[in-house]
Structure 1
């Protein structure tokens, strides 16, 4: 287990360094040389090829996925089982909150005019074959849903318990609902038409907010962050960040905010009333010494300025669009 952990850290470090120069190709395939070895001393040698191959095999087995699959092609190898449930609210017609935590799968949330929260779960599992295969045995099932849902005082919480089986969520909520969504593997998040205060976080997948109202904070490690607002709550700070992807923000023409932006690439806007500010250094005393530091931030004001909106990406562009 220690060997696998060490190799994983080496792989992640290598990907992190390469991502600083070029955007990661999600279809990239890595071929490991079996006889790759590293000498650690006159009497100690590590067979890196064997350990990396073992580590990559362990990852694929853990998450039930093939790194070489094109988008959507993996579905052919799995059967889909669907369950739906409807969760009543303690205070129908009043503002509520939805909390979702998904370990493996996408989350799509849309607003509708009803008084309840509707949850559709799509579980992907190995196809059950009629014919026997290994040792005369045939697959009957690869497990259940492992999902919990509860409601308390107009707050609905939905959570998956395991990592091995992928479960995609399609959820409908009343229009005036705040969201707190967190995903990990295969974790693309899409929100459509919901009005509230939103906290959206994905480790591996893009985030798309369509025609939302209110305020939002959205962050991911790998994927684009795209947010389109029909209206923005005045004086509400917002944050949009990713490591590998664009940050793309669209707001109504009259929106006012002050912004801090950071990227290794370019920043674009079609707003005429967007003014950049001169970057000021941070000054501080350290003991008997003195320190001046310029941080790599671009600061500006939209329509005269307002609440602070932070936008940051390491490997992508930043777009500020007029809706």
Structure 2
């Protein structure tokens, strides 16, 4: 009798657990597929760049001593029915395009569009032809994510962007230009060098440089902290703007005069002068402009 009661309790627990997972948004069926591809540039050039666009999922990029771009993408689709899973597996994928010295790798879906002429990737959840098409839209009945692992020649430039449910990591990349943007995930970059443009809207940015940038660079985060480890001998003209955060550094700094801009007026009062609200100071000889923009986070610059 006790055995029957215990079995019934276990069965009841399993049912409650499954229902709880379902209520949290877990889907009943899921399928996983690994996509592996290799690409080469149409032409070898110091300006070679790899562009990666993802919507749901992470992107990990590693530089290595080779000439081939290697990708491994884990695709996961989940839904409440097998039919919806099958539809998602068919609709969601990875595509690539080449033009000049650039290789473009991007998520492919009914909601995505890539323009090779401009290199522009767009994603809209519903594939509207126009606003009046709303009556004929089709709701997506499955969830999906693509997790990218990419190996690139270590001296190429990169332009990497993600939006939801994933972080971006960059390791051992030393291109002319490092563009890394993430909306709802963090950015971690280690052993990197090159002109930098990073933007993590809601999470932290962590960067460790193998060589300090020698060209103007931008570091932006709305709600996260920016942590940057530079090499000794940094020469930077820092401009910093924040609402609720602070700037910390163990470099020796020297305050500089705030920039003043002229605003033309139509009245007879002449020219109005406006003081720049950014904080300005220099490290070393202050040759290279670095821009830090935040709302709620702190910037921590160390050597």
TM-score in terms of structure 2 length:
0.72
Deviations 1:263-289 (A, max 9, x none): 222111011x32122435434341223
| Residue matched to 1:107 | 59
Structure 1: distance between partners of 2:34 and 2:278: 46
Pairwise CA distance, 1:98:
0.3
Structure 1: distance between partners of 2:29 and 2:278: 46
Q: How does 1:1-323 map to 2 (within 5 A)?
A: 78-91=30-43, 96-126=48-78, 141=86, 142-144=88-90, 145-162=92-109, 164-196=143-175, 197-234=177-214, 236-263=215-242, 264-271=244-251, 273-287=252-266, 288-289=268-269, 290-322=271-303
Question: Are 1:113 and 1:175, in contact at CA under 8 Å, matched by a contact in 2?
Answer: yes
Structure 1: distance between partners of 2:301 and 2:228: 5
Pairwise CA distance, 1:77:
7.9
Structure 2: distance between partners of 1:191 and 1:108: 6
Question: Are 2:73 and 2:146, in contact at CA under 8 Å, matched by a contact in 1?
Answer: yes
Question: Are 1:258 and 1:308, in contact at CA under 8 Å, matched by a contact in 2?
Answer: yes
Question: Are 1:183 and 1:202, in contact at CA under 8 Å, matched by a contact in 2?
Answer: yes
Q: 1:296–1:76: structure 2 CA closer, same or farther, 3 Å change rule?
A: farther
Question: Are 2:200 and 2:224, in contact at CA under 8 Å, matched by a contact in 1?
Answer: no
Structure 1: distance between partners of 2:83 and 2:47: 49
Tell me the SS of whatever aligns to 1:244.
Answer: coil
Unaligned runs of at least 5 residues, structure 2: 1-20, 110-124, 126-142
Unaligned runs of at least 5 residues, structure 1: 1-64, 128-132
Question: Are 2:94 and 2:107, in contact at CA under 8 Å, matched by a contact in 1?
Answer: yes
Question: Are 2:22 and 2:28, in contact at CA under 8 Å, matched by a contact in 1?
Answer: no
Structure 2: distance between partners of 1:80 and 1:218: 31
Q: 1:108–1:75: structure 2 CA closer, same or farther, 3 Å change rule?
A: farther
Tell me the SS of whatever aligns to 2:193.
Answer: strand
Give RMSD over aligned pairs.
Answer: 2.9
Question: Are 2:56 and 2:166, in contact at CA under 8 Å, matched by a contact in 1?
Answer: yes
TM-score in terms of structure 1 length:
0.68
